[in-house]
Amino acid sequence: MADSRLPNALASQPLIIAPGIFDMISAKIADSMNFTALYATGYGTVASHLGIADAGIATYTDMLSRVARYAQGCTTPIIADADTGYGGLLNVRHTVQGYEQAGIAAIQLEDQELPKKCGHTPGRRVIPARDMCLKIEVAAAARKSPDFLIIARTDARTTLGLDEALARGRAYRQAGADIIFIESPETEDEMARIGQEIDAPLLANMADGGRTPILPAARLQALGYKIAIFPAIGFLAVAAAAERVYTHLRETGSSLNRAPQDDYGFARMCDLMGFPDIWAFEQKWARPE
């Protein structure tokens, strides 16, 4: 059965903050910090796993293998990006079943045409709303537990306007989505209108560098949002730190004299990866010489 913690938190907490995770190091660090949920970002996971753009090239198999590891390696509920469901209705059913079996707490499905593109980038096109409604109905029928939440995302705002995005959000809720995600509103006023016109739990995408303004948690809550994901905050910070230390190494030929904040510490990393358990096991079961 799916984990009931996320739907319970959705009902009881004013706003769920979910940091983006993109590999197992980021996942384990975020998992240790008492967040209510973690967000398995498609952009970051594709970038870290394949080193390519999030442009519909990664497959269901690519993504399932990664999100399953997140779920296995973390105790915090995980919301996972599943793009378009990786195809038609049969693919959606297979994707929902695979993500739920992997231990994911909520699946995010979007209404883009294939091949999909990362939100907040140009050129996104959407399928007819009725086709997406069918996908949501299939997703709801495919899950084993109602605690496995379905997030319906529409990318209609950028190409078709906010009115169309709002109409789709309402239709997707009626089709069975638990949470509505209007991607890339461009002003705080647009975000306020979303909160006023859609009667459903709402997800805000706080994508650093994207089209949507980054708002404080209290303001998001006041606007009617229940979940705020921060998909890029981790991988942007890691990329900046890596660039700094690699530059230092190239210019000085040594790892000496780095800034303290650029060193997580080897001992801390060993703890994070579980080496103390390995050492204790080896000590317990070591054969006498």
Domains along the sequence of the chain with CATH? 5-238 (3.20.20.60)
pLDDT higher than threshold 70 for residue 137 = yes
DSSP letter (8 states) at residue 112: B
What digits encode the pLDDT tens for the residues 75-105? 999 999 999 999 999 999 999 999 999 999 9
Are the CB atoms for 177 and 85 separated by under 8 Å?
no
Beta strands in 60-210 (DSSP E): 78-81, 106-110, 149-154, 179-182, 202-205
Ramachandran assignment for 83, one of left (phi > 0), alpha (psi -120 to 50 degrees), beta (any other): left
Average of pLDDT values for 53-77? Answer: 94
Specify the amino acid at residue 229.
I
User: Can you give the pTM of this predicted structure?
Assistant: 0.94
Query: Model confidence at 118, in pLDDT bands (50, 70, 90)?
Result: low
The whole-angstrom distance between residue 9's C-alpha and the CA centroid of its chain comes to: 17
Long-range CB pairs of 213-221, under 8 A, 24+ apart, other chains included: 213/187, 213/188, 215/188, 215/191, 217/15, 217/17, 219/188, 220/15, 220/191, 221/14, 221/15
Residue among 74, 61, 65, 59 at smallest CA distance from 21:
74
* Cis? peptide before 115, omega within 30° of 0: yes
* Average predicted confidence (pLDDT) for the chain: 95
